[in-house]
Structure 1
Amino acid sequence: MNSCSTSSKPFAFDDPSSALAAMIDRLQAVDAEHVPLADACGRVLAEPVVTDRPSPACDVSAMDGYAVRRDELADDMTLPVCGEVATGQAPPELAAGHAVRIFTGGAVPAQADVVIRREDVEETAEVIRLRVPVVKIQPGANIRRCGENAPAGTRIAEPGTCITSPVAGAMASFGYVQAPVRRRVRVTILTTGNEVLGAESKPQPWQLRDSNGPSLWAMLNTLPWVDAQQPKHIADDPQTMAAAFGEALDCSDAVIATGGVSVGDHDHVPSVVRQAGCDVIFHGLPIRPGKPILGAIGPKGQVVFGLPGNPVSVMITARRMVIPVLRRIAGCRMAEDHPVLVRITNPDSRVLKMHWWRPARRTGADTVELIRSQGSGDVVSTAASDGFVELPPEASGPGPWAFYPWSTNP
């Protein structure tokens, strides 16, 4: 059985969605640019896509067959064939009492008002004979009318739309050689922690190889509208951090830092962010993992996030909190996620007095199973997950609950 209640907490926001909305409301999309259509897949439209001519551009045949005048037809009659329309050719004139052979997509002669299907006639090279009663041949049959898909000047894709293969195909059909898109969002990733080493190192038992930088890099590099720089590691030193943040803010639309964001003696990120002139929107949310998360707006409108250093916290808070904010400055029409609802096949009775993000593996279209985890540092169990479910405060049971997959495109 499901249960759900809330309790007050000393946080700026009671839930992650409210915190997200507060940041998103403060942000503007990055500037626009034009790129070759061939390079625009996945990019975000900055302008509407408008048809430069009707679609179809003329009346065309929907079938292989014969273009004729409907009022000239009679049962079991024969008609001489006076020409042929191939796809991509201008149609000939249809002489009275004749038929024109036509193929699917061919332009219908102006004098014709119906196309008889090839299987509805007996044909030779010179004549055709009707095999069906005339009453079954309706005026306009098997003709796609000029502009029936869209007249000239129709908006067919709005700003904020990601250019998918159908959108790219439509743009090419209407003469777009260059695509008007938002420029890619420049993101700097900063990792912290004196105990953190590179993946190539041989750490001592009390040291760690960095997983936060590679996991963020992998998540962001799936997004064609993001230009993420290689992660940079900085020492837990206020001066070093201040210099790194200042440099990052100068060249980035978004800065994402991992670690050093709590209230310990060596957690310098919050003070460095404030000293850089950033306006902190929230520092701490009623969530697990990721409770110490910090979200801020830079002096020039940049996005700044400080994520807790534990690897699972980084992955989940980046997916749930960072990605929607990046969508906003990328100009995406829908910034926030619209998660699917799933049921948990192996629910337990554990509850928290905060929003709980639990890694899970998909078992069906609307079912998941929870991944047994040892906590926010357990990268092993998280690697076996497909995403995570979000349980409200004091909630338990099979759900349905919101599920956020690791895939990040809107």
Structure 2
Amino acid sequence: MRSVDSPVPWRTALKIAGAAATALPPERVPLGAAVGRVLAEPVHAGADLPGADAAAMDGYAVAGTGPWRVVGRVLAGGPAWAGALGPGQAVEIMTGAVVPPGAVAVLPYETADLTGATGWTKAHIRRAGEDARAGDELLRPGRVVTPAVAGLLAQAGADDVPVRRRPAVRLVVTGDEVVAAGVPRAGQVRDVFAPMVSALVTAAGGVVADRVLLPDDAGLLAGCLAATDADVVVVTGSSSAGAADHLHRVLDELGARRLVDRVACRPGRPQSLAALPGGRWVVGLPGNPYAGLVACVTLLQPLLHGLTGAARPPAPRLSVVGDVTLTPPATLLVPVRLAGDHATVVPGSRPASLAGAALADALAVLEEGWHSGDPADLMMLT
């Protein structure tokens, strides 16, 4: 068990979380279920793409020089033209149809001049194998399956896809004062972490397996961490040093290896990352909602990216404008809205309030020496 006397610098915590985990084992899923998942193996073309010379426009496939005489029609998906076109011959052809041997161009309907007087400047023929040859590597492991990637996989003939298993997350919300639904009474607070963390987990490629609402009880917390097959357990509201904050002691009792105990950032200092025996992970979030969001961006998202095998998205860097007071050496994360070539600080942000973050596009990472108008990294929220 490792204890740290001083908080970990924010960028160091980000790197530790991103490098902590290795990608989960692969599984094969139907192509329709693969969007948003991460490829676990290279994908190769099963055949030439396209498989034959094909028309790129509706029009006339022509052979030789004009004038051309139309001798037939070829439809997409229909039988190929028997034989080859001779000089001066043309066939009416649809987009995607196989171009007859001998054709030198497809003249689009809109500009076709079958007399040959205007000639042609572009062939409008997709040649066999121009996108890929059979056996060519189309995509490398680690690529997220986007809609365009799914389309390419379909072109390659894939029916199922090797992707990384989604990390399963158990969300444990602690606090005697927390209620799961409805308007909280005096002395109560609504659980904001279930919807917020669930959305973040989904966006990072994971799935929330279950959610548990616990009172402030060390024994119940220990049982909740031990009795789960989830890859990651996210614990909210128990990572500080108060009388009701039991996470650190419970982790020690379970033989966990603590990688991050506290982070030198505002808000979100009392956040933690630990490895449980057996290859499972625990992320501790502060109980204040905005501080918890900062901790999600700092520790939980990078950890999930590591488990899915996805590369962490690069942080855009823009000029940030706003009235902000820094307190070095802590890194300050503030909500900002994008405004063309710069970002503006959303005023009034507080650790217990999500009002500013809800209006923001990103969190700006403001570090020692920053002044209004200077560039800063942005952790995107959308």
TM-score computed with the length of structure 2 as normaliser: 0.90
Amino acid at match of 1:392: E
Determine whether 1:61 maps to 2:39. Answer: no
Query: Could you tell me how far apart the structure 2 residues matched to 1:274 and 1:383 are?
Result: 36
Return the offset for 1:211: 1.9
Query: Could you tell me how far apart the structure 2 residues matched to 1:242 and 1:121 are?
Result: 76
- Name which of 331, 340, 354 aligns with 2:330: 354
For the Cα contact (< 8 Å) 1:83–1:92, is it kept in 2?
A: no
Query: Could you tell me how far apart the structure 2 residues matched to 1:302 and 1:84 are?
Result: 63
- Name which of 217, 224, 233 aligns with 1:244: 224
Which residue of the partner structure matches residue 115 of structure 2?
129
Which residue of the partner structure matches residue 104 of structure 2?
113
- Name which of 246, 249, 252 aligns with 1:268: 246
The SS at the match of 1:11 is coil
Amino acid at match of 1:186: A
Which residue of the partner structure matches residue 195 of structure 2?
214
TM-score computed with the length of structure 1 as normaliser: 0.84
Amino acid at match of 1:214: P
Greater Cα shift, 377-386 or 321-330 = 377-386
Taking a change above 3 Å as real, the CA distance of residues 343 and 24 of structure 1, as seen in their structure-2 partners, is closer
Greater Cα shift, 369-378 or 185-194 = 369-378
Which residue of the partner structure matches residue 11 of structure 1?
6
Aligned residues: 377
Pairwise CA RMSD: 2.4
Which residue of the partner structure matches residue 90 of structure 2?
100
Amino acid at match of 1:24: G
Which residue of the partner structure matches residue 49 of structure 1?
43
For the Cα contact (< 8 Å) 1:259–1:309, is it kept in 2?
A: yes
Return the offset for 1:202: 4.1
Return the offset for 1:120: 5.9
Return the offset for 1:351: 4.1
Identity percentage of aligned residues: 29
Amino acid at match of 1:83: G
Amino acid at match of 1:218: A
Return the offset for 1:375: 2.4
Return the offset for 1:376: 0.6
- Name which of 358, 365, 375 aligns with 1:383: 358
For the pair shown, the structure with the greater C-alpha radius of gyration is 1
For the Cα contact (< 8 Å) 2:349–2:357, is it kept in 1?
A: no
The SS at the match of 1:25 is helix
Q: Which runs of 5+ in 2 are unaligned?
A: none
Q: Deviations over 1:217-243 (max 9, x none)?
A: 2322445x3220342121222211111
Taking a change above 3 Å as real, the CA distance of residues 276 and 31 of structure 1, as seen in their structure-2 partners, is same
Which residue of the partner structure matches residue 343 of structure 1?
319
Amino acid at match of 1:42: G
Q: Which runs of 5+ in 1 are unaligned?
A: 1-8, 123-127
For the Cα contact (< 8 Å) 2:177–2:189, is it kept in 1?
A: yes
Q: Deviations over 1:169-215 (max 9, x none)?
A: 111112211122122210011111222223326422x3322223332
Amino acid at match of 2:379: Y
Query: Could you tell me how far apart the structure 2 residues matched to 1:96 and 1:61 are?
Result: 18
- Name which of 335, 338, 341 aligns with 1:366: 341
For the Cα contact (< 8 Å) 1:82–1:98, is it kept in 2?
A: no
